[in-house]
Amino acid sequence: MATMLEERIGGIGPADLVRDHEVHRSVYSDPAVFRLEMRRIFGRAWIYLAHDSEVPNAGDYVVRHIGTQAVIVTRDKDGAVKVIFNRCTHRGATLCAFERGQAPGGHMCPYHGWLFAADGTLKSISHKQNYEEVLDPADWAVTRVPRVEAYRGFIFGCLDREAAPLLDFLGHMSTTIDDLVDRSPTGEVLCSPYVLKHYYRGNWKMTFENLNDTIHPGFAHAASVVSAKHVAEEVGGPEHLKPTLGMMMANGKPISFFQQLDMVTAPGGHSYIGGHMGADYTPDTQNAYHAALVARHGPEKAAKVLGLDRHLMLLYPSSTWHARYQTVRIVRPVKPDLTEVIGYTFSFPGAPEETRINAIEYCTGANSAASPVISDDLELYERMIHGNAWGDQEWIPMSRGVREDRETTNEWTRQPSTSEGYIRNQFRAWAAYMGRS
């Protein structure tokens, strides 16, 4: 069955689905667009895979995804991280069935016992004599992800041999990863094995378009604000509310507040908005944490680290970062209308316990499918898929705040957080990736 893109292909490329302030609705649902995205975007961008602390010892592995393809991230005997496809070269069965584990002897396919090293080399074949002079094991290694680089312990993979280095891809956004790591009093960062996953029957881009949207909370999450206010009355005032309810309440901040916050967009489709969470530690923790950071960084840098208050950095097209709450999310496209979002929390050895508990509470509130806030978003993603499936309106506007840019440098553009500039910026990157054959 011809899809919208294939019908259009007479001279019109995928990049023509994007105009300056409008995007064609097929980018959210067309299977042909999705297949091309997997090759041209997820096959070219640097994709966040895992943190060093998830594979501390030789043989440790986790299974992650680059687009729709599963990869095994393993630490080899020499301490290097290797990333190979989770797929036996014999009959194509997946090698690892679990999300994490240890395979110090390599990965053995459960079907016929072909054994692969961490770097994908085929170490042994069962019933070898049947292959003599027929098949050379050297030709049947599992494909390695050709580019693997880490930035401050965060491991990224890239399928494009010609891609610019990770640091170029991160650009200005590396400062958010610095922000996360610098908040550790020892410089050490540990990823928790407990993760939260939610999914929705909607497109992967919807998460990226929602997370930096500061207009929707007052509407989409209005009921959470009402319920938080109700509880505040029941318990004798908002000062008695627990942090999770404070988060629900924060969705009710007036638009004038968000208008004065900055949003920063950068080449590659990345963005973040200015923080508004503040530092809500108890005074004792605040003092102890500050002292621990001063011991590491000196007073000047410690004040700078604690003072930086950024909300949700979006690293297009596959991860979102919240340094202040020690959280990273991976956005995993499964189908045009099926997306999984996986939330990871990090802890800092040497930091007060309260900072870890705060991160857990934030991540639970921000990533659980049972979160009152997330469940509103999931509902709306699915409504957009339904509403865009029919009707005669093909183009979707993304023009909010187009005239409101505040400042532009070589590295970034600053605009009010109420602008849809970050969506336009994502689609500029989208069109650049997709337009290149």
Which spans of this chain sit near other proteins (rule: CB under 8 A)?
192-201, 220, 222-224, 226-228, 230-231, 234-235, 241-242, 244-245, 248, 340-343, 345, 357, 360-361, 363-364, 367-370, 372, 374-380, 382, 386
Nearer to other proteins, 255 or 357 (CB): 357
Q: Per 3-state DSSP, what percentage of the chain is helix, strand, and coil (rounded to 5)?
A: 35, 25, 40
Min dist CB 32 to other proteins, Å, is 24
Structural element, H or E, at residue 157: strand 154-158
What lies within 8 Å, CB to CB, of 190 at 6+ separation is 53, 346, 347, 348, 349
Min dist CB 55 to other proteins, Å, is 18
Nearer to other proteins, 223 or 291 (CB): 223
Nearer to other proteins, 21 or 201 (CB): 201
Nearer to other proteins, 292 or 330 (CB): 330
The C-alpha atoms of residue 239 and residue 227 are separated, in whole angstroms, by 15
- Contact (Cβ atoms closer than 8 angstroms) between residue 74 and residue 59: yes
Min dist CB 249 to other proteins, Å, is 10
Nearer to other proteins, 126 or 364 (CB): 364
Min dist CB 350 to other proteins, Å, is 18
Helix (H, G, I), strand (E, B) or coil at 365: helix
Torsional class of 59: left (φ above 0), alpha (ψ -120 to 50), beta (otherwise): left
- Contact (Cβ atoms closer than 8 angstroms) between residue 30 and residue 4: yes
Min dist CB 379 to other proteins, Å, is 5
Helix (H, G, I), strand (E, B) or coil at 151: strand
- Contact (Cβ atoms closer than 8 angstroms) between residue 53 and residue 153: yes
Nearer to other proteins, 149 or 361 (CB): 361
Min dist CB 373 to other proteins, Å, is 8
